[in-house]
Chains A and B, each alone.
Chain A
Amino acid sequence: MPDAAASDAVPSKTQNRFIAALRDAAFVGLITAGLSFPLIALRAEADMNNHLELQQRWSWLVSATIAMAASRFIASIFDRLVARIVGVTGVWLILFAGGTAYYATDTHPGVIAGCVLAGLIAIGLAAALNRSSVDAGRTETRPAEPSRFYRLDTSGGSLAGNLISIAALGCAIAFPLVVLAWLGPQGSLKWINNYGVQILIYVMLGWGLNIVVGLAGLLDLGYVAFYAVGCYAYALLATKFGLSFWLCLPLAGVLAAFWGILLGFPVLRLRGDYLAIVTLAFGEIINIVLTNWVDLTNGDAGIPSIPRITFFGLPFTAADDGFAARFGIEFSPIHRNIFLFYLILALALLTNFVTLRLRRLPIGRAWEALREDEIACRSLGINTTSTKLTAFALGAMFGGFAGAFFAVRQGFVNPNSFTFSESASILAMVVLGGMGSQIGVALAAAVMIGGTELLRELDFLKVLFGAAFDPSQYRMLIFGFGMVAMMIWKPRGLVSTRSPSIFLKQRKAIAGALVKEGHG
């Protein structure tokens, strides 16, 4: 890369570096302008009479020049690749907002403001990343210090972690109320349901699978089967026997755990690829049974009119005995969605709480030890059979809870919701988040599900790319690029360090390189 020479030539003085970066940016802008003149600014197009006509697009040329120059400026001023990428993304977001404001005047001002804000945050983050890399570089040059793990200040490290968790929790709790206050009952429905509830379902599924894959190191490609078991458990128990959701929720968990143990038994001796194949097959078996056992499940047509959620017995209807009437507020369908949001939030937090507790209990340590070395576990008197089965059962149980929730939220289920691609995306969240890390998995779920939904919001892109352009059709492509980028720069996931479950004097994060992924 030519910019490497330009930026490395003056690494010491910030002043010099700033000027050098400016010069660099101007140079790139000039080249872009020169190249854009024949390629972008002038365009030959056939008119109605099939005569070529020269179109002039000077605003395009200016946009391209500014974009390239600004990107190059950011790229030259930061050292670290991650900082460069984040910074350039920020610049593009801001330019994008500007372009949208200029071309698509009917765009919601909130979107533009959001883009500008996100861009500024990204540039700030890039600066922070760059600074931390400079510090890390300094410690690495010290020969005595082992560079394979990071020494974290106990109080500071855990405090920062706690602060992030508390802030995230606060945001999650406030989210529906803020959205409701901002956009009103009509506008907020999409945000609470499509974003909030959907993301939290996957956060919970990711946390559930994290027990099996992240902690116990057992690669499970059929996790969606337990989600399906929980879902159909509620759907069938509620429609055939009229059981209430609050009774079915634990039942769904128990049934899913039972199936988890049932799957666990035959795969106890399997490792790695073989385990993955058998769990994959299990997921498919459940899906095929649900499709073909028409008498019970109604096959592909699915189970309609599953009883909706009630507020502990009060239905969310406009009737006199409904939730709204009883509490003396005006009826709105948003009430149910807000309740669903808090319900899934509570379920997800329960999953998180139990997992964090288990990590500090002997069973959780045995899971992690099993992931590290199964033979050593056996030599220490740990029953690996029951350890594996509890991991499968607990992971499945949380999947079952999420499934029951899914059924009560949708009001309709059919086997198409439980395909392999669901399993794969839940697994992708665990892997992208960093195996075993709760906050990483939650982050990955939010990015993957929220990001996919956000693509639907980018309608203003049609102004640039034509009316037929549908960004949400590119989600798998973008997702694929994201995966590749992650595997190159963060192969162990967003949170690649492991936090020890107990410490004597100081809690030091363990580098991902030392932590094993498990043998299957």
Chain B
Amino acid sequence: MRWLSDPLLTVDHLSMHFGGIRAVSDLSFTAGRRDITALIGPNGAGKTTVFNCITGFYKPTSGRLAFAREGLAELDDVAAITRSARRHARMASGDIYLLERMPDFQIARQARVARTFQNIRLFSGMTVLENLIVAQHNILMRASGFTILGLLGLPPYRTREAEAVKTATYWLERIGLLPRADDPAGDLPYGDQRRLEIARAMCTDPVLLCLDEPAAGLNPRESAELTKLLCAIRDDHGTSVLLIEHDMSVVMNISDHIVVLDHGVKISDGASDFVRDDPNVIAAYLGVPGDDTTAEQRA
């Protein structure tokens, strides 16, 4: 129950409306530190919308996304930041960010939330290695003295770049793509591209990694490899994972905590055993016996 005792991300009353469409309404859940939290639900339940709100690609209509990067956030502290106009404060327990107030690139840079996309978004015309080096942009940018020192070819940048290559090599080894480091990313097979996108997100050294359907289009063997990779990310690197996934074998195997959405509303929340037997979830996925209106809504 780490999501209750030490929440990394606290979503409070999140709503996202597009005109008259309520994609997400009044959603509250927490994601625990060093947990793999799965966000599941039928198609159109609003999972990706939640992701886009968390990573700043959408500005939520209302709600709060409190992100306690280092340690347990006191409720008073969060409330104090919320009242102030600030988006970030350094408390005794660590930095607290209000993600709904931050632009997307700063969520990735400062709060250190990384993400992947449902339709893979690699830099296809750049090599596999270049993709991973671009992910370390902000560190390298500082090392290059915001380009000026780097333009002069001073050594600090070169050593930092060598370290960046080392990090990239480490991740390439982890995902088994080291032999293809110098090939264009667009040339990789689909499964490799999915893994590379995860490695690229990990190269930003994130605290929270958001994965949008990482197992989509993978064969069973690749799914099993992915499961292993995600567990390693959680256990070896201490990175928390927030996961949207349809592949139940992946979800049930690795999730510490599952949140189920349907029509933009949370219908279940708990450990995998609890969610599996929850009648609300069964109804949402399979329909309620004798209730034709629900079945029609699904169609």
Report which A residues bind B (CB closer than 8 A).
Answer: 146, 148-149, 354, 357-358, 361-363, 365-366, 368-369, 371-373, 375-384, 390, 498, 500-508, 510-511, 514-516
Contact = CB atoms under 8 A, between A and B. Distances in A.
Contacts of B157: 361
B181 interface: yes
Given A361-B147, A500-B130, A504-B165, A149 B183 contact: yes
Nearest to A364: B147
A409 to B, nearest CB: 28
Contacts of A516: 124-125
B165 A502 contact: yes
B270 interface: no
Contacts of B126: 365, 368-369, 372, 500, 510
Contacts of B40: none
A380 B108 contact: yes
Given A376-B122, A502-B133, A384 B105 contact: yes
A358 B124 contact: no
B268 interface: no
A498 B134 CA distance: 16
> When A and B form their complex, which 7 residue pairs have the shortest distance between CB atoms, in order from nearest?
A515-B125, A381-B109, A381-B108, A372-B123, A376-B121, A362-B140, A514-B186
6 contacts: A365-B137, A379-B104, A504-B165, A504-B178, A504-B182, A508-B182
Interface string B110-133: 000011010001111111011001
B96 interface: no
A280 B32 CA distance: 52
Contacts of B114: 379-380
A503 B182 contact: yes
B130 A365 contact: yes
Contact of A373 (B105, B122, B204): B122
B187 A507 contact: no
B116 to A, nearest CB: 8
Nearest to B160: A362
B153 interface: yes
Contacts of A366: 134, 137
Contact of B144 (A362, A371, A383): A362
Contacts of A365: 126, 130, 133-134, 137
Given A362-B137, A379-B115, A500-B182, 8 more contacts: A354-B151, A362-B141, A365-B130, A372-B123, A376-B121, A380-B135, A380-B200, A504-B165
Contacts of B169: 504
B105 A382 contact: yes
Indicate the member of B117, B126, B150 with the most A CB atoms within 10 Å: B126
Contacts of B93: none
A61 B105 CA distance: 72
B187 A498 contact: no
A383 B57 contact: no
A384 B134 CA distance: 13
B129 A508 contact: no
User: Interface extent on B, as a size class?
Assistant: 35 or more
Contacts of B184: 149, 510-511, 514
A515 B123 CA distance: 9
A146 B180 CA distance: 13
A363 B147 contact: yes
A445 B109 CA distance: 41
B194 to A, nearest CB: 14
A380 B165 contact: no
Nearest to B180: A504
B138 interface: yes
Contact of B151 (A358, A503, A514): A358
Contacts of A376: 117, 121-123
Interface of B: 55, 57, 104-106, 108-109, 114-115, 117, 121-127, 129-130, 133-135, 137-138, 140-141, 144, 147, 150-151, 153, 157, 161, 165, 169, 178, 181-184, 186-187, 200-201, 204
A361 B144 contact: yes
A380 B161 CA distance: 17
Contacts of B181: 503-505
Contacts of A514: 124-125, 184, 186-187
Given A357-B153, A508-B183, A362 B123 contact: no
Contacts of B134: 362, 365-366, 369, 377, 380, 382
A310 to B, nearest CB: 29
Contacts of A501: 130
B125 A510 contact: yes
Contacts of B153: 357
A516 to B, nearest CB: 6
Interface hub of A146, A375, A380, A505 (most chain B Cβ within 10 A): A380
A197 B201 CA distance: 48
Nearest to A365: B134
- B125, B129, B161, most chain A CB atoms within 10 A: B125
Contact of B127 (A373, A383, A510): A510
A372 B123 CA distance: 5
Contacts of B147: 358, 361-363, 390
Given A375-B121, A498-B125, A381 B105 contact: yes
A368 B187 contact: no
A182 B105 CA distance: 60
B230 to A, nearest CB: 18
Contacts of B55: 379
A375 B52 CA distance: 11
Contacts of B105: 377-378, 380-384
B125 A372 contact: yes
A138 B24 CA distance: 57
A384 B137 CA distance: 12
Contacts of B187: 146, 148-149, 514
Contacts of A507: 182
Contacts of A498: 125
B192 to A, nearest CB: 13
> Most chain-B CB neighbours within 10 Å: which of A146, A148, A377, A502?
A502
Most buried by B among A354, A361, A365: A361
Contacts of B161: 502
Nearest to B149: A361
A373 B125 CA distance: 10
B94 to A, nearest CB: 19
A24 B251 CA distance: 71
B136 to A, nearest CB: 8
B160 to A, nearest CB: 10
Contacts of B123: 368-369, 372-373, 376
Nearest to B108: A381
Contacts of A382: 105, 134, 137-138
A506 B109 CA distance: 31
Nearest to B178: A504
